[in-house]
Structure 1
């Protein structure tokens, strides 16, 4: 009789623990699905931004150096499951980024004298002219990559 009570209590504990574990697994699955949806939305948003910047660069509505800086930072922020080596896939974009990333921006640029700003602008324009055709050539491939990540783009 006492064994039957002990077995019944043990069975109730096991059933309760099994139910609790099942509930935790269900909640974990829901959380993973929400995280995946957020990740996919972030990929779509970043891809759309990269696509828009690349298009603006092609139409000469955006300076090459500014566009390249923005694109490289956005590519690095993409939360893709298996990231590619963007510096190898888009070597000219990456090379221009490396060249112009040393120039002063925002507040640091404002602190420069007018002569120093003009000097940096001239150097940046010279670098842009060297890379212009090469970078513009990689933009179509970059836009195609964005369309692969976010099929809603065209």
Structure 2
């Protein structure tokens, strides 16, 4: 009689643990789905931002330097596996980015003298004009960018 009771208790414990494990697997699956959904939404948002910035650059609503900084940063941050080397796909944009990425901005720029800002602006404009036609070609492709 005690053996039957022990077997029943053991069976109840095994069934309870099975139900608990099943529930945990279900919750894990839901969590993975939510994480994947959020990642996909982020990718879509970033791709739309890249396209919008490219369009703004083409319409001269955003200068090439600012656009290069924003687009290159977004391309680098895309949460995709096996990220291609975008510096090979968009070499002129990345070249401009490399030239201007360390220029001071915001408060640091405001702390510069007017002469220093003018010199920086001239240098930036020189970099932009050097690569303008090549960057325009890359911008055209970025307007329809997909991962």
TM-score (norm 1): 0.90
- Is there any run of 5+ residues in structure 1 with no aligned partner, and where? 150-154
Quote the residue 2:117 is aligned against: 117
Residue 102 (structure 1) shift? 2.0
Distance in 2, matches of 1:143 and 1:39, equals 22
Residues 122-145 of structure 1 deviation map (CA, whole Å, 9 limit, x = unaligned): 000000001111111112222332
Distance in 2, matches of 1:143 and 1:79, equals 20
Quote the residue 2:31 is aligned against: 31
Alignment length (residue pairs): 147
TM-score (norm 2): 0.94
Q: How large is the RMSD of aligned CA atoms in angstroms?
A: 1.2
Residue 91 (structure 1) shift? 1.2
- Is there any run of 5+ residues in structure 2 with no aligned partner, and where? none
Residues 54-103 of structure 1 deviation map (CA, whole Å, 9 limit, x = unaligned): 01111222100010001111112211133222112211111110011121
Moved over 6 A (4+): none
| 3-state SS in 2 of match to 1:35 | helix
